Chains A and B, each alone.
Chain A
């Protein structure tokens, strides 16, 4: 990025600097402020923009930071109490929309949704639980689709393909009836390393490797330990 043109912008009222074409999340982080992201992580291009957990204000309007590139003169708000609360509210909505029974989930401790809850200090969602019905799909040879836990982030549909570049996951239906589906023929032929890859790409426990899970003691999993103390974001 060092060849790219420098851009100046304002971040929470202070002057900040980055380079043309840099993702907004990264541009903000370069200037010492953390932006929480769930569906996005560095390297995901183009961004999925599905979870909205990275919401900041750009020139007075709320928008997903991961979906934008930094531009000269942008006025960005990120670390304000209102925005922190808004981001927490968005996360809470993800929790009430699905059925997230953490105590009984194979992914618990390694789930990025849960990890974000811990990072935000969420003790409970402020919205009523929907308890909608979702069909489980256990027809796969290696993988189980636990749709109760799907946050419709599109990682599996957009970023995953089998060894020969074929899409295995897709979305079916519209609006609140959207559900993730798996191509059973392709799934049956997938080697175990690809199945593992799919399961770990899913930020929640919606794609689960059959017969696995609960294989490490509590305390040794990814999100068991305190989030990095440096984080100012809640």
Chain B
């Protein structure tokens, strides 16, 4: 078992849909666990890297300073880093706020919006809360990304093609018919 490759995954500003799609590889999961061991990942609930990973899968874009920190940590600890899904690649739905000034977004969400609670209209701020960035950034605008798996989410077949290809060292190009943006 010593030669199992180590894989790490994380969801930044994403909805976990990409992780769901990873699980959607169904029975091939059994093949996968023969080949890899998951280290830091929501799938294992390991919160800190315990060893260097061969492959890091990033779901979600970068919307706050904690995301920046985690993404950089992944870059430092993974040989190959993959942006998985539209949010990681272009910010995705969270990036719909990108052409609206941050202050306006926060005021709408916490002060003036219809769901703001009467008498509790404050914009949350605390040293322990991540600071929201001026806009949502695609991962490759923060660190170097080696591969991209588009889709919302990328299909299980695309994820499998990429993972199995990388693990066997036979990944040439992604099968085009699996590349979709929605």
Residues of chain A at the chain B interface (Cβ within 8 Å): 99, 101-105, 108-109, 114, 117-118, 121-125, 128-129, 131-134, 218, 224-227
A118 contacts B92, CB within 8 Å?
no
Separation of A122 and B174 alpha carbons in the complex (Å): 10
With most chain A CB atoms within 10 A of its CB, the pick from B141, B181, B182 is B181
B135 contacts A131, CB within 8 Å?
yes
Interface residue total, chain B, C-beta cutoff 8 A: 29
Query: Chain B: which residue is nearest A231 at the CB level?
Result: B176
With A104-B93, A128-B141, A131-B98: A121-B179 Cβ-Cβ less than 8 Å: yes
B152 contacts A123, CB within 8 Å?
no
Question: What are the residues of chain B within 8 A of A121 when measuring CB–CB?
Answer: 173-174, 176, 179
Looking at chain B's contact residues, the main secondary structure is mixed
Within 8 Å by CB of B176, from A99, A108, A224, A226, lies A226
With A123-B150, A133-B99: A102-B86 Cβ-Cβ less than 8 Å: yes
In the complex, whether B129 has a CB less than 8 A from a CB of chain A is: no
The smallest beta-carbon distance between B24 and chain A, in angstroms, is 14
Query: Chain A: which residue is nearest B141 at the CB level?
Result: A128
Question: What are the residues of chain A within 8 A of B138 when measuring CB–CB?
Answer: 124, 129
What per-residue 1/0 map shows which CB atoms of B148-182 lie under 8 Å from chain A? 11101000000000000000000001101101111
What per-residue 1/0 map shows which CB atoms of B133-145 lie under 8 Å from chain A? 0010010110000
Query: Chain B: which residue is nearest A105 at the CB level?
Result: B182
Residues of chain B at the chain A interface (Cβ within 8 Å): 83, 86, 89-93, 95-96, 98-100, 135, 138, 140-141, 147-150, 152, 173-174, 176-177, 179-182
The smallest beta-carbon distance between B80 and chain A, in angstroms, is 15
With most chain B CB atoms within 10 A of its CB, the pick from A108, A114, A131 is A131
Within 8 Å by CB of A103, from B93, B98, B141, lies B93
A103 contacts B135, CB within 8 Å?
no
The smallest beta-carbon distance between B118 and chain A, in angstroms, is 31
The smallest beta-carbon distance between A127 and chain B, in angstroms, is 10
The smallest beta-carbon distance between B21 and chain A, in angstroms, is 13
